[in-house]
Amino acid sequence: MSFMYELEALNEEVLYYYLESITVTDVERIVAKERLTNRDYLALLSPAAGTCLELLAQYAHRKSVQYFGHTIQLFTPLYMANYCDNGCIYCGYSYYSDVERVKLNLSDIEAEGRAIRGTGLEHILLLTGESQRHTPLMYIEAAIRKLSPLFSSVNIEIYSLSKEDYSQLVKAGLDGMTMFQETYNPALYEILHPFGPKRNFKKRIDTPEFACQAGVRTVTIGALMGLDEWRLEAYKTGLHVQYLMKHYPYVDLSVSTPRIRPCAVGYTPNYPLKDRELVQYILALRIAFPRLGITISSRESAYMRDHLVHLGVTKMSAGVSTAVGGHTKETAQGESKQFEISDDRSVHDMARMIRKQGYEPIFKDWQLL
């Protein structure tokens, strides 16, 4: 039985009623518990919990230090291509977008990898648009084989694959994958994805589980915040985490909490997430899932990321370019970006900021043998 069955069983009216029933006293009782239930996690997302951010921050900090120490892992994305066959109405790589389409060859990919490795980073995330025609599995596999000798951890964020496909990439040196559900609302998902392979909601839901079954070591999930009401998206993301933890306890799970950013197609979110709400979401995740990795990307401002170091975040991107070939081909910067980043600090500057706050930037915490 997949997570899809659990998602379909949810009654959103009941969830809203419960959220409104939570009091500050309930929140104070819940944060002191050793193990939290699903309803406890939902309570930490409530309006009442939103008035207790200082209390939540204290507990989240303790949990984070207990399980991760004073460390922040650094990584950066490498955009290999931006061809896409999907009609996602919120993405700069959408089939509708008039961005210049670019695809790196293996020599370009190696050059990008060496430029990134020269900054000291050893964790890399490979990204493409979602087009199996232009970036087939063999292309992804060749890139992983080319880069795995340079990095301790090679991860991908691409289109959905099968269990067998992920197994093939693991043999090539794949360490991790990221797959955003975008929204856990199936009706809204259909509207946001009018055509293309990504339109299959259930396949998208099941893909992280395929990766777990194939032996991928690290799996990152999440919703794109701003597409739907944030408390529902955050709760459903937490349920997805719990499902994967229960069935695949050996997998290193993380959640990313991206907020939608301006992009070439000019989409305006209907449910923009405020800073305090993002903080509440992150604190709730840390308290409810103390072993969970939490990633904050360069979509967030330098100010916001600086202040999240102590609040449960474990991974941050650094030295980011969302342009294909952006680490070596600066002329492509303005023509192929997927979205506008907010924090453009270098790896050196990010490491310095982290150390200034009493934390240690981690460039390598894993070696694939």
Which domains does the chain possess?
A: 3-362 (3.20.20.70)
Retrieve residue 216's tokens: 């991928």
Q: What is the DSSP letter of 90?
A: T
- Say if CB 290 and CB 334 are below 8 A apart: no
Q: Is the pLDDT of residue 217 over 90?
A: yes
Query: Band of the pLDDT at 330, cuts 50, 70, 90?
Result: low
Residue 55: exposure state from Cβ atoms within 10 A (0-12, 13-18, ≥19): middle
Q: Is the pLDDT of residue 264 over 80?
A: no
- The phi and psi torsions of 187 (rounded to 5 degrees) equal -70, -45
Instruction: Give per-residue pLDDT as tens, 149-175.
Output: 999 999 999 999 999 999 999 999 999
pLDDT at 331: 47
Q: What is the DSSP letter of 199?
A: G
Query: Band of the pLDDT at 335, cuts 50, 70, 90?
Result: very low
To the nearest whole number, what is the mean pLDDT of the chain? Answer: 93
Mean pLDDT for the stretch of residues 99-108:
93
Length in residues, the chain: 369
Of the listed ranges 5-14, 55-64, 93-102, 131-140, the least confidently predicted one is 93-102
Q: Is the pLDDT of residue 349 over 70?
A: yes
Q: Is the pLDDT of residue 274 over 60?
A: yes
Query: Band of the pLDDT at 336, cuts 50, 70, 90?
Result: low
pTM of the model: 0.94
Query: Band of the pLDDT at 369, cuts 50, 70, 90?
Result: low
What does 182-248 look like in DSSP terms, one character per residue? E-S-HHHHHHH--SSGGG-HHHHHHHHHHHHHTT-SEEEEEE-BTSS-HHHHHHHHHHHHHHHHHH-
